[in-house]
Amino acid sequence: MIREKAFAELFPDKNVSSLTKIEIKEATTCADGKTPRDAVARALLQWFKGPQFFRWLNKPDSCVACGANKASLELDGIEGPMSQEEITGLASRVEVYRCKQCNSKRTRFPRYNNPVTMLLSSRRGRCGEFANCFTLVCRAIGFEARYILDLTDHVWTEIWSGEQHRWLHADPCEKKLDRPLMYAKGWGKKLIAVFAFDRCQVSDVTRRYLAPGSVAAFSERRIVHLG
C-alpha cells in the first residue's frame, strides 16, 4: 500500500477515471456507462511508455565527465551499488561505462528495483525498470498485478482480468496486452522457466507462454538447465 500511495501522491490525476477519458479512444462502454476494465489496462499500456511517463534507456544518455553523447559510451564493467542513492534505490547492479572521447570511467547506470524511491522519479530504464514501475502503477489504479520473470532474460507484468477471470500478459516495453506467445513464436525464445511474483506467492507460469507443440522440447531444455 505504501507504493500505491506514493504513486497517487506524485500523480494525483492519473486515476482510472482520467486515464479512461484521456487515453481510451476506441473502447466501447458497458450498459452501465462504465469503460471495461480490460480496455483501461490496454490504455494504460499505451500511456505508460513514451515521453509522457516512462522512457526506454539502454545506456546513459551522455558521459558525466565530458558530456559526449551515448554513442561514445561502451560498457566497461559491472559493480555493486556504492552510493546511498544506489543502495536506497535497490540497485541490483551498476553498469560502469567508459567514454571513448575522454576515457573517463565515471558514468554509472544503476539498475534500480525500487519503484518508489527511484523509478517514479527517474522514469527510465530497460525491461526490469519498466516491469517494476508498471506493476506499481497497475496496483495504484486498482488492478491486481504481478511481476513476471523469464529466466531467459526478460520481465513483464500480468494483470488480473475480472471480466475474463484470468491473468492477462501485459508487456509495458512492447505495449502488448494478452499476447503470451509473442516471445516463443515472435521472438523465437527457447523458454526455460517463467515465474509470477504476486503479493503472497511465487508461481510457475511457464506453460502459458509456450508455443503449441513445444512442450516436449521445453521439458528437455528444462532438465538440461535446471536439472
Q: Are 41 and 168 in contact (CB under 8 A)?
A: yes
- Can 127 be counted among the known catalytic residues? yes
Per-residue pLDDT of the chain (227 residues; tens, 9 = 90+): 445 455 555 554 444 445 444 444 444 445 444 557 888 888 889 889 988 889 999 999 999 999 999 999 999 999 999 999 999 999 999 999 999 999 999 999 999 988 877 888 888 999 999 999 999 989 888 899 999 999 999 999 999 999 899 999 999 999 999 999 999 999 999 999 999 999 899 999 999 999 888 877 778 787 777 76
- Is the entire prediction scored with pTM above 0.95? no
Identity of the amino acid at 23: E
- Can 154 be counted among the known catalytic residues? yes
Task: Single out the catalytic residue among 66, 76, 102, 127.
Answer: 127
Q: Which residues of 76-94 are buried (b: 16+ CB within 10 A; e: fewer)?
A: eeeeebeeeebeebbbeeb
Residue 18, helix vs strand vs coil: helix
Strands 73-79 and 94-99: antiparallel
Task: Single out the catalytic residue among 138, 154, 169, 173.
Answer: 154
Q: Let me know how long the chain is.
A: 227
Q: What is the spatial order of strands in the sheet that 73-79 belongs to?
A: 73-79, 94-99, 107-110
For 32, counting Cβ atoms within 10 Å of its Cβ (0-12 exposed, 13-18 middle, 19+ buried), the class is: exposed
Which DSSP symbol is given to 211? Answer: P
